[in-house]
DNA sequence: CATCGAAGGACCC
DNA sequence: AGCCAGGGTCCTTCGTGA
């Protein structure tokens, strides 16, 4: 798939560059710098809570979790390289004297509740992401106080420490994406303030490793690395290439990274989409053993369903991790909601049966297509919420994403072979400042212009029409372009 | 052909 | 100095009903 890149990399991408620049400009000027968002992250949360109960743990390397996997480690243990999300056996190799404490969720929940009570004082609609992490919108509070954002956040963190004896780190910035990154900057017991100003933000992102952005993991990092993109600032130089290579959604995401854009609203009305249980065990392959596991899991899931007040789900799915570590996911959707333990078990067994013979080390079962949450009000309020949601999303993740054809179609649709067409005209212009007949790829008009005029025309055209409108127009005017770029998703590069 | 369901992944905490 | 566990979300692609 790198071949796709090789093909593109030597091409003339001046048109793409223009198109992207226009898009960047649009996004840049639409920037919202009015909000003050804070991301608070408790330091080594589970481990710190355990240390509260047993202060002697502070003096030794310690981690919380199980032999299979650790959730957190204290800072003593981190000196040995013991990190969270590390299997216990490996951690013990790194640090033989490591003490591993089992999880005590009720304790963590209690500590979390105290912290959240503090958050609520400063932002009643704060957004908890997990027990130890939350976003706060401090804009309102700041408007009624003399404090600077930094002073206010210091105050919040002091309060947390007084109330719980636990320390927190925080990031303060114009949106969630930036605040999240900032909270990592002065990690244990510190905070970082990124002013809500364009210049400061652009400077910040220009040298920021792309990997710091939430949503960019190992795979994406590697793919981008092969495209010479290491920092958010690098995205600008590679914008045309990225535009050609990535899906609209991925590309939009890249531009946001470059510009330091992120969402500021917390009302993501997130009812859950699925509920599941899964367990790892020593290899099983006998059907009877598998079915017994199914019964166990179905039982657990049914209990969970009840505890979460979920009526049921229309889609029943299984996940099998083979002893080879390959993963198989299967699912089936029904017209009515499935909720009873027996029904779940029966359907799951059918799904499992089709996979036989298998030897697996993990089995998971899942219910999705859950019923919409009916929060006891009729019509009006729901309608209101919906509206609020859509108009608040002025910078939602998928703006150009609804375009079914690829962005490349802008190019491919106008003339038979637009690339050669464009480059031909430009090449001609190099030889002499002659006037060449070209077809504008945007408005589809035939033009007799020299290179400079043509570029000017492009600018005008781009300013008049939004990218979306362009694409729509192209779509209805043109026959479907034969698109040789199939895999523009990041993931495709991996194969 | 717009939609949906299924499968496969990446990623997050 | 290996990618694990368990609970999720979201994105993408493909195939199939219309």
pLDDT tens profile A341-383: 999 999 999 999 998 898 998 999 999 998 876 554 443 333 3
Q: Is A133 a catalytic residue?
A: yes
State the average pLDDT over residues A141-150. 97
> Which residues from the 44-73 window of protein chain A have CB within 7 angstroms of nucleic acid chain C?
68-69, 71
Q: Which of A16, A133, A278, A394 is catalytic?
A: A133
Q: Give span(s): CATH 3.40.1170.60, chain A.
A: 45-104
CA-closest candidate to residue A170, choices A219, A232, A237, A122 = A122
Q: Is strand B in 7 Å reach of the CB of A466?
A: no
Report CA-CA distances (Å) from A369 to A89, A273, A274.
38, 7, 7
Structure confidence at residue A50 as a pLDDT band (50, 70, 90): very high
pLDDT at res. A270: 67
- 3-state secondary structure string across A260-312: CCCCCCCCCCCCCCEEEEEEEEEEECCHHHHHHHHHHHHHHHHHHHHHCCCCC
Q: Is strand C in 7 Å reach of the CB of A249?
A: yes
pTM reported for the whole predicted model: 0.77
Rounded distance in angstroms from the CA atom of residue A205 to the C1' atom of nucleotide C15: 42
Residue, of A277 and A272, whose pLDDT is higher: A277
A45-104: in CATH 3.40.1170.60:
yes
Q: What is the pLDDT of residues A11-39, one digit of tens each?
A: 777 888 999 999 999 999 999 999 999 99
Place of tokens 């040995």: A80
Q: What is the pLDDT of residues A182-231, one digit of tens each?
A: 999 998 999 999 999 999 999 999 999 999 999 999 999 999 999 999 99
pLDDT at res. A156: 98
Rounded distance in angstroms from the CA atom of residue A366 to the C1' atom of nucleotide C4: 21
pLDDT at position A413 over 70: no
pLDDT, mean over chain A: 78
Q: Is strand B in 7 Å reach of the CB of A43?
A: no
Residue, of A468 and A128, whose pLDDT is higher: A128
Residue, of A391 and A226, whose pLDDT is higher: A226
CATH topology for the A274-368 domain: Dna Ligase; domain 1 (3.30.1490)
Q: Give span(s): CATH 3.30.1490.100, chain A.
A: 274-368
pLDDT at res. A42: 96
């Amino acid at each position: 798939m790198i071949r796709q890149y090789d093909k593109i990399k030597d091409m003339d991408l001046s048109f793409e560059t223009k198109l992207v620049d226009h898009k960047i400009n649009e996004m840049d000027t639409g920037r919202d710098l009015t909000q003050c968002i804070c991301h608070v992250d408790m330091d080594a949360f589970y481990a710190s809570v355990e240390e509260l109960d047993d202060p002697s743990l502070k003096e030794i390397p310690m981690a919380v979790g199980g032999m299979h996997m650790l959730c957190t480690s204290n800072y003593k243990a981190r000196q040995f390289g013991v990190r969270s999300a590390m299997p216990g056996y490996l951690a013990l190799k790194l640090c033989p004297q490591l003490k591993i404490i089992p999880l005590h969720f009720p304790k963590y929940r209690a500590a979390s509740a105290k912290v959240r009570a503090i958050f609520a004082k400063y932002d009643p609609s704060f957004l908890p992401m997990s027990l130890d992490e939350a976003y706060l919108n401090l804009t309102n509070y700041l408007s009624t106080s003399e404090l600077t954002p930094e002073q206010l956040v210091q105050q919040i963190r002091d309060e947390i420490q007084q109330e719980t004896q636990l320390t927190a780190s925080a990031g303060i910035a114009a949106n969630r994406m930036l605040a999240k990154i900032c909270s990592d900057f002065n990690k244990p017991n510190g905070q970082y303030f990124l002013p809500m100003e364009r210049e400061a933000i652009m400077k910040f992102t220009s040298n920021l490793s792309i990997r710091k952005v939430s949503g960019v993991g190992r795979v994406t990092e590697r793919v981008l690395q092969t495209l010479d993109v290491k920092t958010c600032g690098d995205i600008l130089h590679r914008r045309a290439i990225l535009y050609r290579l990535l899906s609209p959604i991925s590309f939009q995401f890249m531009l946001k990274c470059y510009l330091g854009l992120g969402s500021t609203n917390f009302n993501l009305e997130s009812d859950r989409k699925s509920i599941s249980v899964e367990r790892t065990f020593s290899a099983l392959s006998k059907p009877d053993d598998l079915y017994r596991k199914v019964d166990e899991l179905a039982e657990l899931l049914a209990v969970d369903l009840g505890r979460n007040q979920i009526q049921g789900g229309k889609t029943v799915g299984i996940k099998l991790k083979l002893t080879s570590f390959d993963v198989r996911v299967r699912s089936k959707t029904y017209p009515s909601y499935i909720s009873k333990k027996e029904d779940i078990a029966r359907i799951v067994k059918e799904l499992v049966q089709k996979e036989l013979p298998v030897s697996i080390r993990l089995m998971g079962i899942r219910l999705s297509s859950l019923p919409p949450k009916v929060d006891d009000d009729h019509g009006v309020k729901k309608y209101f919420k919906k509206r609020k949601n859509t108009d608040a999303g002025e910078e939602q993740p998928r703006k150009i994403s609804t375009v079914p054809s690829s962005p490349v179609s802008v190019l491919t649709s106008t003339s038979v072979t637009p690339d050669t067409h464009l480059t031909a005209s430009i090449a001609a212009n190099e030889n002499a400042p002659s006037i060449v007949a070209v077809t504008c790829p945007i408005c589809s008009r035939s033009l007799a212009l020299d290179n400079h005029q043509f570029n000017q025309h492009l600018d005008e055209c781009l300013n008049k029409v939004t990218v979306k409108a362009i694409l729509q127009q192209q779509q209805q005017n043109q026959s479907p372009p034969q698109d040789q770029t199939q895999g523009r998703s990041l993931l495709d590069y991996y194969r």
